[in-house]
Amino acid sequence: MVPLHISPAPNKTNKHQKTNHIANKSMRLGSWNVRTMRTGFPDTSGSSDCVQHLRKTAVIDGELLRLNVMIAALQETRLPDEGSIKESNFTFFWKGKDASAVREHGVGFAVRNELLKSIETPKGVSERIMLLRLYTDCGFVTGVHGVGNQNENGQRLLEFCSRSRLCVTNTFFKGKFLRKVSWKHPRSGHWHQLDVTLTKQQDIKIITHTRSYHSADCDTDHSLVISFIRLAPKKIHSSKPQGVKRINLPASDDTYVVSKITSTWDPESSAEDEWSQVKQLLTESAAGVFGYQRSANDDWFNRNLHHLQPLLDAKRKAAESHRLNPSASTKSILTKAKSLLQNQIRHSANAYWSEVCSSIQSCAATGNASGLYAGIRKALGPIPKKTAPLKENRWHHNIGL
């Protein structure tokens, strides 16, 4: 259960100023049971053979981008503790059990990177509940409801919706049957609507549509559910300073490049020149010659994406075809697509890690400490940000002077 609270931005406006409470632009919010969200890094996978696993966070990143989803609530992430990791287009937040406990349950959010300035950092309540607050020009919005044959869990959900004055967004809009269901029973073959989106009754007017997308694939038997919402994200102003571009200093080892920058600088400038002019001259000259550093977000998956993407597309189409029209032929096509993808994954991962190990060994042999530690950081991958809330309130002491 991953509630999403959408609240007005915490700033004061002039009462005579016109405000746009509901934006004309529709935003897509999704809900997806991903059945284990592997990052491909040892810090979160907990096993040494994770380097050859398909990086699910990267796959989910591409699928959500393809379907133009801005925020997705994720279930059954099965990642330990609480943390986050940033991919090319989305930042993933999760909350799970302790690292020493069994890897089960777990929830999370995938937030488009350009929306990070409009949200508060998601807070994990338990391995089943995580909260995210998005600031907009609208009021509060949450979601939950269900359709179909009702069991005990459905009854509890309806009672919760009745107490909280929530309504079903999935059942408010007309659509084809397959666009209302999200999970197919493996034995009976019956479709069910297990994944739903909830909203408060007074906010149903900003929901324009909710439907399932069976084409999204990340090795899960649940379909992605997307809601279209009319709202405009609003940036949260903070005191965090903006990042400063850094000159690519390793390029200074090139004598030809250094000669170009020294030719553009006059070393005989008088001492009476203002320091700001000299600083600007040096910075602009160095930036024009050396260039700026680029973010180092290059792992084996992104580097070999041009080889993996056609296989991922073929597997996604085969999975969708088998899910909608199960037969021996569609299953055979899906099995073949999975096998080809897995072989390419192992080949790409082995080639990448062999190159990284050779680079580290070469730097260690030549005494290149900077390259050595850069290779180690590259091998470890991006460090996930973890949070550990206080479990005990110990600060009850009165301190006097």
Same domain assignment for residues 281 and 362: no
Same domain, 24 and 164: yes
- The percent of residues above 70 in pLDDT, for the chain, comes to 67
Domain range for 278 is: 249-265+274-290
284 domain-assigned: yes
Per-residue pLDDT band for 47 (boundaries 50, 70, 90) equals low
Give the whole-angstrom CA distance, residue 38 versus residue 55.
Answer: 6
Length of the chain counted residue by residue: 401
Write out the E strands in 97-223: 107-112, 119-124, 130-136, 166-168, 183-184, 191-192, 198-200, 207-213
The reported pLDDT for the residue numbered 72 is 93
**pLDDT tens by residue, 88-125:** 899 999 999 888 888 888 999 999 998 888 888 888 88
Q: Which CATH number fits the domain that encloses residue 96?
A: 3.60.10.10
DSSP secondary structure letter of residue 178: G
Most confident of 140-149, 255-264, 334-343: 334-343
In a domain, 37, yes or no: yes
Dihedral pair phi/psi, residue 229, rounded to 5°: -125, 135
Burial environment of residue 388 by CB neighbours within 10 A (0 to 12, 13 to 18, 19 or more): exposed
> Sorting pLDDT into bands at 50, 70 and 90, what band is 335?
very high
Question: Does residue 178 contact residue 62 with C-beta atoms inside 8 Å?
Answer: no
Q: Which of 3-12, 54-63, 268-277, 376-385 has the lowest mean pLDDT?
A: 3-12
On average, the pLDDT of the chain sits at 76
Q: How far apart are CA 9 and CA 138, in angstroms?
A: 9
Residue 85: closest CA among 391, 345, 397, 382: 382
Residue 137 phi/psi, 5-degree rounding, is: -95, 10
Residue 333's pLDDT is 94
pLDDT greater than 70 at residue 375: yes
Is the pLDDT higher at 189 or at 18?
A: 189
Say if 243 falls within a structural domain: no
For residue 317, give the 3-state DSSP assignment: helix
Total domains, the chain: 3
Is residue 142 in some structural domain?
yes
HSE-CB of 271 using CA atoms within 13 angstroms:
0
Tell me: pLDDT of 200 over 60.
Answer: yes
- 190 and 257 inside one domain: no
Domain identity same for 216 and 254: no
Asked if residue 321 and residue 217 are part of one domain, the reply reads no
Place of tokens 């069991």: 151
Answer yes or no: do 90 and 207 share one domain.
yes
Q: Which of 61, 98, 58 is nearest to 78 (CA)?
A: 98
